[in-house]
Amino acid sequence: MALPDQVKVVEVGPRDGLQNEKETIPVAVKVELIDRLTASGFVNIETASFVSSKWVPQMATSAEVMAAIRRRPGVVYSALTPNMKGLDGALAAGAGEVVIFGSASEAFSQKNINCSIEESIERFRDVAAAARAHGLRLRGSISCAFGCPYQGVVPADSVADVVRRMRDLGCDEIDIADTIGVGTPLQVQQVMARAAAEFPVGRLSGHFHDTYGQALANIYASLEVGIAIFHASVAGLGGCPYAKGATGNVATEDVLYMLHGLGVRTGVDLDAVVDAGQFIMRHLGRKAASRAGNALASRRAG
């Protein structure tokens, strides 16, 4: 299959990236990061998470952050909403898309959201209905689609089953997520094909973490089977508080560098993303995990 001409890159750094940082990041820094990402040209930025602040303290300022960002018309600002309390928060904050997040692994579902897969789908039912009633986009995210830190192997059938349930809840988009970054390209193509048998391939997305260094290869493998939406995190920020050892999402700069090199359009200005990455890493006091980002930054300095 020919590669798609155009890809939507969803920037998830402000949520998936920052949620794992131990030190509380000031609201103003989060806001500047998001504003820089908006200016870079993303059409979708995962901005916030309305979850228990006991579980994920870094996201406790989500409402303040969403109130202060400078929104660009046409850009969708997404927020995670595990239940109705989360949905209320996201609505009050003016999110354009809400994300229900489940898992293809029973064990991970319990650790991450404290309920079984079955119970999670029941909780999501009300969230989905309310999202639709308010005219919000609804995205479903499926963790541990390629392996689980607690149960190990996750069968493709389990992924397909959750895809079907999320489709039936009315999701506009469904993320197939490699939470701990263990997937490899052929496996990715097989799982994506199973998911695409249940849901339109053009509305599936690949959410890859780079723990084992497979993320770019997995994105390329996904492109070959028709996936045209990918999540990435500026500077490769991140990890998951409930997936020990998981490193960040694939770095946005690396994904853009590869896609642009392939002649795939993204509408995103790589140089501006490099600047945003350098900005947040200056604040965090470490070097970015983005290979392309660091290379481009040092070439400029050079």
Positions in the binding site for ligand HMG (CB under 6 A): 16, 19, 49-52, 55-56, 80, 82-83, 85-86, 101, 112-114, 141, 143, 177, 179, 207, 240-242
Q: What's the token pair of residue 282?
A: 């200056």
At closest approach, how far in Å is the CB of 195 from Mg ion?
Answer: 17
Virtual torsion, Cα 101, 180, 274, 140, nearest 10 deg: -20
Residue whose CB is less far from ligand HMG, 127 or 297: 127
Residue whose CB is less far from Mg ion, 16 or 253: 16
240 assigned to active site: yes
Three-state secondary-structure class, residue 288: coil
Residue whose CB is less far from ligand HMG, 96 or 147: 147
At closest approach, how far in Å is the CB of 53 from ligand HMG?
Answer: 6
Residue whose CB is less far from ligand HMG, 146 or 257: 146
How many C-beta neighbours within 10 Å does residue 99 have? 27
Distance of alpha carbon 15 from alpha carbon 243, whole angstroms: 16
208: partner contacted, choices ligand HMG, Mg ion, none (Cβ within 5-8 A by kind): none
C-alpha Rg value of the chain to the nearest Å: 17
Distance of alpha carbon 31 from alpha carbon 14, whole angstroms: 9
101: partner contacted, choices ligand HMG, Mg ion, none (Cβ within 5-8 A by kind): ligand HMG
- Provide the β-strand partners of residue 45: 11, 77
User: What is the largest distance, in Å, between two alpha-carbon atoms of the chain?
Assistant: 55
Half-sphere exposure of 199 (CA within 13 A, CB side): 28
At closest approach, how far in Å is the CB of 4 from Mg ion?
Answer: 23
Q: Which of 144, 148, 171, 240 is labelled catalytic?
A: 240
**Are β-strands 76-80 and 97-103 bridged in parallel, bridged antiparallel, or unpaired?**
parallel
User: Which residues bind to Mg ion, rule: CB under 5 A?
Assistant: 16
At closest approach, how far in Å is the CB of 237 from Mg ion?
Answer: 11
114: partner contacted, choices Mg ion, ligand HMG, none (Cβ within 5-8 A by kind): ligand HMG
